Amino acid sequence: MQIDMQHISKSFGSNEVLKDVNFSVKGGEVHALMGENGAGKSTMMNILTGLLEPNSGTILVDGKETNFASALEAEQHGIAFIHQEMNNFGEMPVLDNMFLNKEIKKGFGLIDNAKMKTIAQKALDQLDMKVDFSQPIGELSVGQQQMIEIAKSLMTDAKIIIMDEPTAALTQDEIQKLFVVIRKLRDQGVGLIYISHRMEELFEIADRVTVMRDGLTINTYNTADTNVKQIVHDMVGRDMGDFYPERHPKYGKTMLEVSGLTNDKFKDISFSVRSGEVLAFSGLMGAGRTEIMRAIFGIDKLDAGTIKVDGKELTIKNPNDAISHNVGFLTEDRKTEGLILDATLADNIDLPSIDGFSKHGLIDEKADKDFVDMLLKRLNVKANGRDDEAGSLSGGNQQKVVLAKWVGSGSQVLILDEPTRGVDVGAKREIYDLMNELTDRGTAIIMVSSDLDEVLGFSDKIAVVYEGHLMDVVDTKDATQESIMTLATGGKNE
């Protein structure tokens, strides 16, 4: 089977997310799709699988123009989409999840479990996998769940399988197993679209690669004919060298010092950040970086350990305590914890500072408005004004609103968890510039990031966490991709 997407364009309101893109995949190849967040990869795949309708352009399946009206229709045509976030019902048994909405019946509406098991086992056999079908799927590891997803696509006899960041949550061992499966499928004539951010995987598994940026398909290469440098260049639209602004740190006193922090997610964590410093936290997904920060900020509980801010030992019971000692926390997921999407920019930005604009609880409306306007301007938030709903802004501008909140609250210690995730390239640069400006004024910044380039490109020191343990804190100028990855996977550098 061959699919050709030709001249596809798509806009959301006035926001053009795909501009006349072309993409093709055929049976028997692994075609990698690379690009930063917001480049348009997901939108393109959602169009291919009938989840979104393009504004213009055509999709050819084996040369015939086809429009899938729904995901189900795409599936019936042999196109399977394995999403990054798996839509499983954790409490439901494996078998029920695999056949959700596709249950096989044996008359009187009764479900034929025996037949379903036979079919499911056949698919799992292809993957050399054994599971207990009656076990709740939530009890399986993420890797196993990923395999179940693949088995599901095999059950529907998929000719084209789309995998969106399949390795994001897998261990090295599981990744290798997945690659064996991918190669086997390819050899059986299945076409695979492989979306990933990981450069090394691309060269290991893909036959072709298409790079997207800002809603455009920049180039398609045979993997054998290209190299990392070229792809990175296509992805960011310039050489990496000038992508991160330079750091000229001037360190002051220690602003945050923690020692022996322990709860069920991490153990004996000790580190410190100075005024004017950017300390990056690196590690694999699930290593416990976010959990450490949540505990410092008072969202999660600590079992042991001490926290000193500006030399004073504190008991932080909730975020309110942390904020009152000038600690700010930009959370990993801005939609669920960073913003009130239905509320105005003003109501979002002034929330942590609102007590400062009030006398006996009564808000000084004028001071409050001026405060919000000043911050919107300072962070260059692109919006009509303070009364816009936060949810109406683009990802980058939403992130700036969250930053405005914490800059406005006067954070001396600012914890930024994935500050540039889902943010376009231009806004990314603005966020780094802001971080430079803040550290110049003496703020201490902790930047949790899963983007190794960012960690190496924009920090003074790097703390590496592996399975809840702080492996080491190294100077950024002495660190390399390899040395950080080694620590992040539990190894030791000589």
Q: Which residues bind another protein (CB under 8 A)?
A: 13-14, 297, 299, 318-320, 322-324, 329, 331, 336-343, 347-348, 350-352, 354-355, 358, 361-363, 365, 384, 405
In whole angstroms, how close is the CB of 21 to another protein at the nearest point? 21
**Shortest gap between Cβ of 253 and another protein (angstroms)?**
25
Could you tell me the smallest distance in angstroms from the CB atom of residue 378 to another protein? 19
Q: Which is nearer to another protein, 172 or 358 (CB)?
A: 358
Q: Which is nearer to another protein, 329 or 432 (CB)?
A: 329
HSE-up of residue 217 (Cα within 13 Å, Cβ side): 21
In whole angstroms, the minimum distance from the beta carbon of 16 to another protein comes to 11
Residue 413 and residue 258: Cα distance in Å, rounded? 13
* Interatomic CA distance for residues 218 and 235, integer angstroms: 8
| Shortest Å distance, C-beta 299 to another protein | 7
- How distant, in Å, are the alpha carbons of 8, 79, 102, 228, 485 from that of 450? 31, 30, 37, 19, 11
Place of tokens 């008072």: 298
Q: Which is nearer to another protein, 139 or 333 (CB)?
A: 333
Placement of tokens 């036979």 in the chain: 118
Q: Phi first, then psi: what are they for 20, rounded to 5°?
A: 55, 55
Q: Where are the beta strands (DSSP E) in 13-85?
A: 15-26, 30-34, 56-61, 64-65, 79-82
Minimum distance of another protein from residue 328's CB (angstroms): 10
Cα–Cα distance measured from residue 259 to residue 308, given in angstroms and rounded to the nearest whole number: 9
Q: Name the DSSP letter for residue 247.
A: P
**Distance between CA atoms of residues 206 and 208, nearest Å:** 6
CB 323 within 8 A of CB 414: no
CA distance 485 to 450: 11
Nearer to another protein, 208 or 421 (CB): 421
The smaller minimum CB distance to another protein, of residues 191 and 298, is found at: 298
Judged by beta carbon, residue 163 or residue 302, the one nearer another protein is 302
Residue 362: CB minimum distance to another protein, A: 6
Burial grade of 185 (CB within 10 A; 0-12, 13-18, 19 or more): buried
> In whole angstroms, what is the distance from residue 408 CA to residue 369 CA?
12
Identity of the residue, 398 or 420, whose beta carbon is nearer to another protein in the bound complex: 398
Please, what is the minimum distance in Å from the beta carbon of residue 361 to another protein? Answer: 4
Nearer to another protein, 16 or 453 (CB): 16
Return the sign of the alpha-carbon dihedral for residues 436, 438, 439, 444.
negative
- Of 116, 121, 112, 175, whose CA–CA distance to 143 is shortest? 175
Q: State in angstroms the smallest separation of the CB of 346 from another protein.
A: 10
C-alpha span between 120 and 96 (Å, rounded)? 11
The β-bridge partners of 259 are: 306
Identity of the residue, 236 or 415, whose beta carbon is nearer to another protein in the bound complex: 415
What number of helices (H) and strands (E) belong to the chain? 16, 22
DSSP symbols for 402-424:
HHHHHHHTT-SEEEEESTTTT--
CB of 9 to another protein, least distance (A): 16
Rounded to whole angstroms, the Cα distance separating 255 from 415 reads 12
Q: Which one, 101 or 384, has the nearer CB to another protein?
A: 384
In terms of CB distance, is 342 or 437 closer to another protein? 342
β-strand pairing of 266-274 with 254-263: antiparallel
Minimum gap (Å) between residue 297 Cβ and another protein: 8
- Closest contact distance (angstroms) between CB of 385 and another protein is 11
Question: In terms of CB distance, is 366 or 477 closer to another protein?
Answer: 366
How far are the Cα atoms of 308, 334, 429 from residue 422, in angstroms, in the given order?
32, 10, 13
